[in-house]
Every structure is written in C-alpha cells, then in structure tokens.
Copies of this chain bind each other. A is one copy, B any other.
Amino acid sequence: MKILFILSGGLDSATALYDLRREHEVVEAVTFDYAQRHRKEIACAVKICETLNLPHRVIDISNLNELLQGSSLTSNSIDTPHGHYEEENMKQTIVPNRNAIFINVAAGYAISKGVHGLGLGVHAGDHFIYPDCRPDFIEAQQKTLSLANDVDFRLHTPFLNVSKTGIVARGNELKVPFEQTWTCYEGGARPCTKCGSCNERIEAFMKNGLIDPLYSREEWEKLSAIV
C-alpha cells in the first residue's frame, strides 16, 4: 500500500519509517517545522531521507507557533523540564492538539496525491503524558479522517504499543542510522542528557546493552555511572 510518512527526525519515527518500508511503498516523508525549540531534528530528517533516497518535504507551519502556546517545546519563555516522563512537570512539553494538526495536514496532502495511508512513529512510552499518542486517539482519528474524505484512510503506527527499549531493539535489527536521529528537546549542539526525552533514549540503549552513537565511549561510561 502507498503511504506518506510523518518523520520528525527522532529515533522513533526514523525506526518506524525503516519498519514500514519493508511492507509498504512509502512515497514521501514530511517533517513539520512548527518553530520547535529542537529544530535540529529537521536537519536530521533531511539526512535520513537522503540516506534512504526518499523524497522529503518540510511543511512550514511555524506561523502557527504563536497560536499553540503554553508548551516548552514552542515557547522560549518556558524552560524545558528535566527528569522523567512520568513526572507532572513533563506536561509543560504538551503542545495543544499538535499530533492531530500534523496528522490532518499530512492526510490532506496525502489525499491530494491519491495516497490513503499515513505512517507515524507514536509509541507506548508517550501514552502516559501525551493524549494524542494513545491508541484510542489514533483509532478515532483514523475513523474521522475516513469520514472527512469519504475514503478508507489508514494510520500506520507500528510502535503504538512498543516501548522505547523495544524500538531501539527493532532499529538495531533494521540497521537504522541512530547517529542521524535527534531526540533532545533542548536546541543545543549536543544532547542535554537531562530532559525527559534524553533520559528515555539513554535508558533504552542501556537496556539493550547498546551504546548510543550520539555519545563517545567515554561520555557513555560517565552516563552509565549516573543512570
């Protein structure tokens, strides 16, 4: 089946892309520029698609940034919280209706190309904090898109019930170039190692007995001593 893919440039969506390409014809990947603090992920998405020789398009919705306030991901005045995703302060990273907006814009683009499927990398670890990553949302959104366009529209989410640790294991099998992916919520040149997103990634590699290629062996040993 032909599908369009929403690639953030992060580890989850890169691995979901590699996974879905085995069974589907991914015609193009799209990445949203929503003026996120961690814009570095956009450059990562470009690189991943170059590696795969896959057409890629950045969809610029950065002018919606001023509408979708209240999140540390889109507001420079709100600090990126440190810690783990299970903590209350992580709610600061919620951008109102973000995934639904991405999915709906990408679906409109897909349908105008005659493509009735969309792949994305939402995963089980996001469920606790982000309602728009939960299975009941994905199911309702798929039904709504089908009704809105009078087609049988499908959302392909191979990791909907897979943890970050499971995704790293799968990506390792599929030889995903993890060094080309970006996960940190801060906009720095190097991962901050302190935000929820960094913590989750580091732990997932450790649980798999792997070294995250974003770090040198020395850095990794230091992180191992802390985690």
A interface, CB within 8 angstroms of B: 59-61, 63-64, 67-70, 95-101, 104-105, 107-109, 111-112, 131-132, 134, 136-137, 140-141, 143-145, 147-150
A97 and B101 in contact, given A61-B61, A140-B143, A150-B131 (Cβ under 8 angstroms): no
A143 cross-chain contacts in B, Cβ below 8 A = 140, 144
B-chain residues with CB within 8 Å of residue A141 when the two chains form the complex = 144, 148
A97 contacts B59, C-beta separation under 8 Å = no
Query: Which residue of B69, B98, B137, B149 contacts A147 across the interface (Cβ within 8 Å)?
Result: B137
Q: Which B residues are CB-close (under 8 A) to A150?
A: 131
Docked Cα-Cα span, A145 to B132, in Å, equals: 9
- In the assembled complex, the CB of A32 is this many whole angstroms from the nearest CB of chain B, namely 11
Q: Chain B residues near A134 (CB, 8 Å)?
A: 147
20 further A-B contacts with Cβ under 8 Å, apart from A136-B147, A141-B144, A143-B144, are A61-B61, A67-B109, A96-B109, A97-B104, A97-B108, A97-B145, A97-B148, A97-B149, A98-B108, A100-B148, A101-B101, A101-B108, A104-B104, A132-B147, A132-B149, A137-B147, A137-B148, A140-B140, A140-B143, A141-B148
Of A64, A96, A101, A134, chain B has the most CB atoms within 10 Å of the CB of A96
